[in-house]
Amino acid sequence: MKGNLENKRVAIVGGGPGGLTLARLLQLKGVDVKVYERDFNKDVRVQGATLDLHFESGLKVLEKAGLMDAFKANYRPGADKGRIVDTRGKIIHDDHEKESYEDFGDERFRPEIDRGPLRNILLHSLQPDTVIWDSQFKSMLQVGDTWRLEFKNGTTATADIVIGADGANSKIRPFITPIKPFYSGILIVQGNVPNSETGASKIHQLLKGGKIYAYDGEKFLHVSSKGDGSLDFYVSCKKDENWAHKSGIDFSDKAQVTTWFKKEFSEWDRIWFELPENVSFPLLLRPQYCMPLDQNWSTLPNLTILGDAAHPMPPSGEGVNLAMLDSLELSECLTNENFKDIQTAIAAYEKQMLVRAAKEAKESLEMTEWMHSEGAIAKLVQMFH
């Protein structure tokens, strides 16, 4: 059942959805695995916005991991419903008024869950002490056929196989390839408004427990409700790669952020000003990068990467789903006895992962382009239909 992982120690660097999913799948097959996560503990950092899981990827993986019942107990019915609105807040398309596909057997159904509950489902599915907290990766060195990992807290670990699941700014990726991601031309400014019912009452009513999409040709605003009563929003706009630094704006300062937002959205209705006036600080600035579509590398004997560590790309609704699918395919390859060794198993995984990632990245870049162009609303409405 363990395949080539018999008597092998696996180290996963990064405790996001991809890394935790892989740990769960490997433990189901009896593999010795540890997850090294930089967070001090599971509660130290508020998890980000909601996400939807897809029939052919995220939901499929949860089924394989034996976690579908836990997911059904924690997902948020109706949170997947979206409203497309114009800059004045007028509703152009409303999912709340159309037939619902809230059926886990329907390929069109994409149930929403907050990142925090999803992470907790995965954490609770693991054996005690699987996740080693406060383990921010510093460096690693190959010692014979093993890796010696060093962490910033001074601790070390040894593993036969290392898997990087440490996100878009992966520290593991440079050990595999010198290829660097390129800037997509898009900057996301992300924030959270606590208790949106009182903090942003008009937008809260417009949300109706789901999502809002608003466009004006050069930028778009995405707002989503969360199970804790807050709302997350992000402004996605075309900016120079170093704009945040050059702008001189302190995004931890309410007055400066409010001034910037009102200037950026000067032609929009005042309803949107509820966001900067009630947001928690600081805001997150997230320049969006993407790996070259033709990226490739020579497979190493005992090291690989998955999720955003392998294929960062602008948001398209596929990120977590891709990471979870990577985890499933990697776990199946590594524990498949038909592969003669670990390197062959990794090569099989990387081949299909890179092909899929290139396809998704191409679609992500194309989506990014039209979503920041004239006619975006009409195209999105057409997509929703």
Of residues 33, 86, 378, the one with CA closest to residue 212: 86
Of 369, 94, 84, the residue nearest 217 (C-alpha): 369
Mean pLDDT across the chain: 94
The domains of the chain are located at 3-76+113-180+292-367, 182-289
Question: And the tokens for 257?
Answer: 């952020």
| pLDDT (mean) for 16-24 | 97
Task: List beta partners, residue 192.
Answer: 232
Q: Report how far residue 300's alpha carbon sits from residue 229's, in angstroms, rounded to the nearest whole number.
A: 46
- Strands of 152-295, DSSP E: 156-159, 161-164, 182-193, 211-215, 219-225, 231-238, 284-290
- Regarding predicted confidence, which is higher, 139 or 41? 139
Known binding residue 45? Answer is yes
C-alpha 23/C-alpha 129 separation (Å) is 12
Determine if residue 269 is labeled as part of a ligand binding site.
no
Indicate whether 45 pLDDT > 80.
Answer: no
In angstroms, the CA 361 to CA 363 distance is: 5
Q: Which of 57-61, 106-110, 283-287 has the lowest mean pLDDT?
A: 106-110
Strands across the sheet containing 156-159: 137-143, 146-151, 156-159
Right CATH for 3-76+113-180+292-367 from 3.30.70.930, 3.50.50.60, 3.30.460.30, 3.30.565.10: 3.50.50.60
Q: What are the residues facing 177 on neighbouring strands?
A: none
Q: Per residue in 46-67, pLDDT tens? A: 666 789 999 999 999 999 999 9
Residue 213 pLDDT level (bands cut at 50, 70, 90): very high
Tell me if 216 is assigned to a ligand binding site: no
Q: How confident is the model at residue 33 (pLDDT cuts 50, 70, 90)?
A: very high
Phi and psi angles of residue 279, each rounded to the nearest 5 degrees, phi first: -75, 150
Asked if residue 52 belongs to a known ligand binding site, the reply is yes
Give the predicted TM-score (pTM) of the model: 0.95
pLDDT at 101 over 70: no
Mean pLDDT of all residues in 311-320: 88
Are the CB atoms for 334 and 342 separated by under 8 Å? yes
- CATH class, 182-289 region: alpha beta
Query: Each residue of 144-180: pLDDT tens digit?
Result: 999 999 999 999 999 999 999 999 999 999 999 999 9
Q: What type of residue sits at position 92?
A: I
The mean pLDDT value for 243-255 works out to 93
